[in-house]
Amino acid sequence: MPRDVPVTLTERPLPIGASLPVHKLSASAYSDLRHCPYRFYALRQLRLQEADELGAEVDKRDFGTWLHATLQHFHLALSESPTDDGHQRIALMDASADKASSALNLDEGDFLPFSAGWPALRDGYLQWLEKHEQGGSSFKLAELDASQPLGSELTLVGKLDRVDLVRGEGSPVRLVIDYKTENEQVTRKRVTARSEDLQLAFYAALLQDDVLRAAYVNVGERGETRMFEQDDVVHLRDELIEGVLHDMRRIAEGAAMPALGEGAVCGYCAARGLCRKDFWA
């Protein structure tokens, strides 16, 4: 028999995460908190995760992982056997690419869309590197696992793509580098956003140098590599640390963790089905 069913919409969730302390905080985790407190609550405090799906196709993330590994192999090999000869550097880059492909078990056919552009990417990167070194920079570390205690209960953690040493008129200064394979305009916006983009400031917080530099290096697939440095990153780092301490203190004191439901982040959020955004009143 037909019957009337009253519509009852879902209210926005307002959980409290005071009893679920986070002792290790990464840049991506803090980014979750900035984007949406409920996302942080679900993914970082409750530690809920999506089920991984098997995918045969090689995507942009696989390419990024491969490029990071290739550059790590290249710079470590170059530091062991320094050379300024362009042909030797090209051969070393090619050998590093093959080593990364083998370690990641990448199928040559599946990786063809990316490997086809490798010569242009390789040559563009080597041209940038030559100018970078002429400016007084030298490679020191790659894929560095770093941590920094923040108070008695929290530790900042992260992996730095690369750390260079820049020599100038004064004492040498460390330069934190994060590789990007995204559109160049996206990288440029990261730098102009300043405190809204927390990645470089967070990585700077892992190195408590009084004087420090940080930059994104956009490795373009079409052969152009450019560096976008974040000005006054030490100031942004200090602001970030203050913000982290403030946010973690509010969570510990019982502040609600609302689902914001705003911005493009909802389009790929793993917690969207849990917060029930599509059924809110």
pLDDT digits (tens, 9 = 90+) for 205-241: 999 899 999 999 999 878 899 999 999 999 999 999 9
> Is 257 a domain residue?
no
Residue 57 banded pLDDT, cuts 50, 70, 90: low
Mean pLDDT computed over 158-162: 96
> Is 88 a domain residue?
yes
pLDDT per residue over 9-43, tens digit each?
A: 888 999 999 999 999 999 999 999 999 999 999 99
* Residue 188: predicted pLDDT: 94
> Is 263 a domain residue?
no
Mean pLDDT computed over 124-149: 96
How many structural domains compose the chain?
Answer: 1
**Residue 241 and residue 174: Cα distance in Å, rounded?**
20
> Is 42 a domain residue?
no
> Is 153 a domain residue?
yes
**Residue 144 and residue 213: Cα distance in Å, rounded?**
16
Domain range holding 86? Answer: 60-242
Percent of the chain with pLDDT over 70: 98
**Residue 6 and residue 149: Cα distance in Å, rounded?**
53
The SS3 assignment for 140 reads strand
Better-scored residue on pLDDT, 82 or 56? 82
> Is 218 a domain residue?
yes
> Is 253 a domain residue?
no
> Is 51 a domain residue?
no
User: Which amino acid appears at position 62 of this protein?
Assistant: D
Residues 6+ apart with CB under 8 A from 201: 195, 214, 230, 233, 236, 237, 239, 240
Residue 46 banded pLDDT, cuts 50, 70, 90: very high
